[in-house]
């Protein structure tokens, strides 16, 4: 009878492995519905724009032009939520005169399409081209939130930004998956690996990393492992009261502004 029980356990385990492999796209990229427009949130000076991202896909982004002579932030959000959920970023950066372009990935904030690592990088590259056309003289600051940190780091070597800010970033999706599902061969199953730690040594811009002291989504150890692979100049700040992407609620914005000012940005 033991062999029957062992067989049953094996079948269940194999079923879980197959499920994780087949549906990993939905787990990694849940997408989001349509977003409120910036005007509905009282964001003066912020407009909706759309740009072509390849394969006939047009993407929604929010755009806040910089004040004369000020840098512009190219912001890549995480794997959940809408542009409206990041409205506070426009308020904080706008107060400092920074421009801000925040694109929504395909399948997010009402965009069509199916997300994947190659597709999200096409979206990021298209956003960078749009920004170069509309603010050609402004220094660019890459800002990556959670998954967006991986997008920003992948984009950085070709874009050569003036600085990079990462909020709740991680070392690699494969390492994260293995830590989250230790009894599964998760690191072998994952297709979109987002291997930021491999890209890290190629980064030439100064980097600020913010991480929540109570981050329940990306353990602090994964952020510190990525940080250790980055070249100088770099800085790591733990926002002790913060969780994952709520760090601006606990003084994160001031850390970012002070650090940018220290680099004359």
Which residue, 250, 246, 261, is CA-closest to 96?
261
Per the domain annotation, does 102 fall within a domain? yes
Residue 17 burial by Cβ neighbours in a 10 Å radius (0-12, 13-18, 19+): middle
Q: Which domain holds residue 117?
A: 38-262
Question: For residue 184, what is the domain's CATH number?
Answer: 3.40.50.1820
How many CB atoms are located within 10 Å of the residue 13 CB? 12
Per the domain annotation, does 11 fall within a domain? no
How many domains does the chain contain in total?
1
> Is the confidence at residue 255, as pLDDT, over 70?
yes
- For the chain, the average pLDDT equals 88
Q: Is 107 among the domain residues?
A: yes
- Say if residue 219 is exposed, middle or buried (CB neighbours under 10 Å; 0-12, 13-18, 19+): middle
The whole-number average pLDDT for the span 236-245 is 94
User: Do the strands 234-239 and 207-212 form a parallel or antiparallel pair, or are they unpaired?
Assistant: parallel
Letter string b/e over residues 226-260, b meaning 16 or more CB atoms within 10 A of that residue's CB: bbeebeeebebbbbeebbbbbbbebebbebbbebb
**What pLDDT, in 10s, does the model give residues 129-165?**
999 999 999 999 999 999 999 999 999 999 999 999 9
The pLDDT of residue 178: 73
Token readout for 140 is 């660019």
Q: Give the pLDDT band of residue 187 (cuts 50, 70, 90).
A: low
Higher-pLDDT residue of 165, 176 = 165
Q: What is the pLDDT of residues 3-44, one digit of tens each?
A: 554 444 444 444 444 445 554 556 678 889 899 999 999 999
Would you say residue 16 lies in a domain? no
Residue 147 lies in a domain: yes
Q: Does a structural domain hold residue 222?
A: yes
- C-alpha distances in angstroms, 121 versus 98, 128, 229, 235? 24, 10, 22, 26
d(C-alpha 247, C-alpha 234), whole Å: 19
How distant, in Å, are the alpha carbons of 39, 76, 86, 93, 226 from that of 89? 15, 12, 6, 6, 24
In Å, what is the CA distance from 175 to each residue of 3, 184, 244?
A: 33, 12, 18
Q: Is residue 33 part of a domain?
A: no
Query: Quick check: is 12 in a domain?
Result: no
């Amino acid at each position: 009878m033991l062999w029957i029980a062992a067989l049953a356990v094996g079948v269940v385990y194999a079923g879980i492995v197959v499920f994780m492999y087949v549906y990993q796209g939905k787990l990694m990229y849940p997408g989001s519905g349509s977003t409120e427009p910036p005007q509905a949130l009282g964001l003066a000076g912020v407009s909706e724009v759309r740009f072509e991202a390849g394969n006939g896909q047009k993407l929604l982004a929010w755009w806040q032009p910089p004040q004369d002579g000020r840098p512009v932030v190219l912001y890549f959000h995480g794997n959940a939520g809408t542009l409206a959920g990041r409205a506070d970023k426009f308020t904080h950066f706008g107060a400092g005169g920074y421009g801000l372009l925040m694109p929504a990935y395909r399948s997010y904030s009402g965009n069509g399409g199916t997300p994947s690592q190659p597709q999200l990088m096409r979206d990021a590259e298209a956003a960078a081209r749009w920004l170069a056309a509309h603010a050609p003289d402004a220094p660019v600051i890459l800002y990556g939130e959670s998954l967006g940190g991986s997008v920003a780091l992948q984009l950085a070597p070709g874009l050569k930004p003036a600085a990079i800010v990462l909020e709740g970033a991680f070392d690699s999706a494969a390492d994260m998956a293995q830590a989250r599902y230790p009894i599964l061969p998760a690191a072998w199953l994952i297709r979109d690996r987002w291997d930021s730690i491999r890209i890290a040594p190629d980064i030439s811009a100064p980097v600020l990393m913010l991480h929540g002291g109570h981050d329940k989504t990306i353990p602090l150890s994964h952020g510190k492992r990525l940080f250790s692979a980055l070249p100088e100049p770099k800085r790591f700040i733990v926002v002790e009261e913060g969780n994952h992407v709520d760090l601006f609620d606990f003084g994160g914005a001031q850390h970012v502004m002070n650090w940018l000012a220290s680099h004359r940005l």
